[in-house]
Amino acid sequence: MSLPLIFVSGLITGFPLFQIKHSKTTFTLKAVNSELYGVHIGYKVTSGWSFKGGSRAIVVANPRRFNLHRKSIWLHASWFTGPQSAGDAFTLGTAAVLPFYTLMVAAPRAELTKKCMRSSIPYVVLGVLYSYLLYLSWTPDTIRLMFASKYWLPELPGIAKMFSNEMTLASAWIHLLAVDLFAARQVYEDGLENEIETRHSVSLCLLFCPIGILIHAITKAFINISRESKTDIH
């Protein structure tokens, strides 16, 4: 019954108008999507009206949508701790050191190479990445596997078991990259200081660091002997 008909009916029957004060019409205005810290929260806004209370807004949450997005956040968080993280860290660490080796081999005496090799940025990046991987791979048994003997010395079976974890293996690779790059820089700077060719030694330091250091020491010894011989002749 429409409002004018109700009003006329009240006049005819003698019923007071306040008897229809509980009549209420509620209708949906719109559905709203909101986002709070990356979480989409769905809710609807409805409007209700009556003679007694006037107009009012009613907010109805959509818990199903909220739970769905909360589950998706857990899935996104798992990306940082899943097996894919080990592979990504392996690739990122390897790609991060290659430009420095390229500069030391391709342009050892360029000012850009000298400036880059004096920087501590690559070691900071590798250090942070290594610390993160070490944190993810650390378990209550890590110390026991590292120092398995009664003399608190590492043993090969324990180390092999520890490195069976991909996250631990990735952290060890980042560890090697940082140490190898540091050793290559020492070889490079020593070559600049003593005017010794270091391209071959620096290249070996990338994958065979101890051999690279050994070759540099042999190269330096031969060059020093050659220089001393030339000095004696003159």
Q: Does position 165 have pLDDT exceeding 50, yes or no?
A: yes
Query: What is the model's pLDDT at position 126?
Result: 95
Q: Does position 160 have pLDDT exceeding 80, yes or no?
A: yes
Give the torsion sign (CA, 108, 111, 112, 115).
positive
pLDDT bucket at 162, cuts 50 / 70 / 90 = confident
Query: What is the model's pLDDT at position 144?
Result: 81
pLDDT per residue as tens digits for the range 66-120: 344 444 433 343 444 556 778 888 999 999 999 999 999 999 999 999 999 999 9
Q: Please state the rounded mean pLDDT for residues 2-27.
A: 42
Q: Please state the rounded mean pLDDT for residues 188-206.
A: 96
The answer to whether the beta carbons of residues 123 and 181 sit under 8 Å apart is yes
Helices (H), the chain: 3-13, 63-78, 83-106, 111-118, 121-137, 142-146, 156-162, 166-194, 199-207, 209-233
> Between 224 and 34, where is the model more confident?
224
Query: What is the model's pLDDT at position 3?
Result: 44
Query: What is the model's pLDDT at position 219?
Result: 97
Query: What is the model's pLDDT at position 19?
Result: 40
The answer to whether the beta carbons of residues 83 and 155 sit under 8 Å apart is no
Query: What is the model's pLDDT at position 154?
Result: 81
Domain residue spans in the chain? 3-75, 83-233
Nearest alpha carbon to residue 95 among 36, 173, 149, 172:
173
CATH topology of domain 3-75: Pantoate--beta-alanine Ligase; Chain: A,domain 2 (3.30.1300)
Query: What is the model's pLDDT at position 56?
Result: 52
